[in-house]
Amino acid sequence: MPRSSLPRNILLRRSTRSLPIQTPRPIASRSITTTTSSSSPSSSNPRQDAPSTSTSSFSTINASEISHFSSLSSQWWDETGEFKLLHRMNPTRIEYIRQKVALGPSEGEEWTFENRHSDFTRESKRGTGLWLSGKRCLDVGCGGGLLSESLARLGGQVVGVDASESNIGIATTHAQQDPSLSTKMQNGELKFVHSSAEVLRDAGEKFDVVCAMEVLEHVDQPGEFMKCLGQMVKPGGHLILSTISRTPLSQLLTLTLAEDVLRLVTPGTHTYWKFVKPLELRRFVYSDMGGYDTWHRNEDASDIRTEEVGETRGIVYDPLAGKWKLWGGVEGSTWKEVGEGCNYMYHARKRV
- In tens digits, the chain (352 residues) has pLDDT values of 444 444 444 444 444 334 444 433 333 333 323 344 333 333 334 334 456 555 555 678 888 777 877 778 889 999 999 899 999 999 999 999 999 999 987 665 676 777 766 666 666 778 889 999 999 999 999 999 999 999 999 999 999 999 999 999 999 999 999 999 999 999 999 999 999 999 999 999 999 999 999 999 999 999 999 999 999 999 999 999 999 999 999 999 999 999 999 998 889 999 999 999 999 999 999 999 999 999 999 887 777 788 999 999 999 999 999 999 999 888 888 999 999 999 999 999 999 9
Fold entry, domain 57-104+128-244+270-349: Rossmann fold (3.40.50)
Q: How far apart are CA 116 and CA 110, in angstroms?
A: 10
Which pLDDT belongs to residue 51? 61
Q: How far apart are CA 259 and CA 253, in angstroms?
A: 9
Q: How far apart are CA 75 and CA 82, in angstroms?
A: 6
Indicate the SS3 state at residue 208. Answer: strand
Strands 323-326 and 233-244: unpaired
Which pLDDT belongs to residue 122? 65
The residues pairing with 133 across neighbouring beta strands, listed in sequence order, are none
Per domain, the residue ranges of the chain are 57-104+128-244+270-349
Indicate the SS3 state at residue 259. Answer: helix
Given a contact cutoff of 8 angstroms between Cβ atoms, the answer to whether 258 and 265 are in contact is yes
Which pLDDT belongs to residue 54? 53
**Binding site for S-adenosyl-L-methionine: residue ranges?**
93, 141, 162, 213
**Binding site for Mg(2+): residue ranges?**
214, 217-218
- Across 68-103, b (16+ Cβ under 10 Å) vs e yields ebbebbbbbbeeeebbeebbbbbbbbbbbbbbbbbe
Q: How far apart are CA 36 and CA 216, in angstroms?
A: 18
Q: How far apart are CA 336 and CA 313, in angstroms?
A: 8
Amino acid 154 reads L
**Binding site: residue ranges?**
93, 141, 162, 213-214, 217-218
Strands 323-326 and 311-318: antiparallel
Strands of the chain (E only): list them. Answer: 136-140, 157-162, 190-194, 207-213, 233-244, 311-318, 323-326, 343-349
How many residues are given for the chain?
Answer: 352
Which pLDDT belongs to residue 40? 38
Rg of the chain over Cα atoms, rounded to whole angstroms, equals 20
